Homo-oligomer: A and B are copies of this chain.
Amino acid sequence: MKEILREIGMIARALDSISNTEFKEYDLTKGQYLYLVRICENPGFIQEKLAEMIKVDRTTAARAVKKLVMNGFIDRRDDPKNRKIKKLFPTEKGKTVYPLIIREHDHSDRVALSGFSENEIETLFHLLHRARKNIEKDWESVKKGNKRIY
C-alpha cells in the first residue's frame, strides 16, 4: 500500500507550491510560512524544537529563522536561565501576517477536503496523526545517524 505515501507526497508538494506562490505577496520567501505559523502559535519556542516539529534539518531551520528575523517577522530573545538558547517571538509584523497565512491554509483545506463529510474529515485527521507519530520515531532515529534494518 505504498500508494498512501505517494499520495501524501503529492499533496504535500502541491500545497507547499501553492502556499509559496501565494505568500510571496507578503514578502515571505520559500518555506518561511512554515516557521512563522509555528512561532506565532508557540511563542518562546527555540529553533531546535522548530526543526523537530517541522521535520527539517537543524541548519535549515536556523537559516529560515535568521531570515525571518532579518525581515522583521520575528524576534530572538535571550533566556536569562539558559545562555545557550534563543527564544523566538513574533513581532507586530509577524502577528499581522499570521491570520493571512491561516486564511490561506483554511482555503486550501476547504479545497482539499471538498466533498468530505464531517466524519471523513475526523477519520482522516486521526489516521494521519497516528501515521505521523509512527514515522517520526524513525525520522528522529535516522537523523541521529542510526540505520534502519529491513
Which residues from chain A sit less than 8 Å from chain B, CB to CB?
A: 1-5, 7-18, 21-22, 34, 53-57, 102-109, 111-116, 120-121, 123-125, 127-132, 134-139, 142-143, 148, 150
Smallest CB gap from A105: residue in B: B2
Residues of B within 8 A of A130 (CB): 115-116
Q: Is the CB of B11 within 8 A of A34?
A: no
Please report whether the interface of chain A is mostly helix, strand, loop or mixed according to DSSP.
helix
State how many angstroms separate the Cβ of A47 from the closest Cβ of chain B: 16
- Residue among B54, B108, B148 making CB contact with A107, cutoff 8 Å: B148
**6 A-B pairs with the lowest CB-CB distances in the bound complex, closest first:** A12-B12, A14-B139, A107-B150, A13-B55, A7-B128, A2-B105
- Residue among B113, B132, B148 making CB contact with A10, cutoff 8 Å: B132
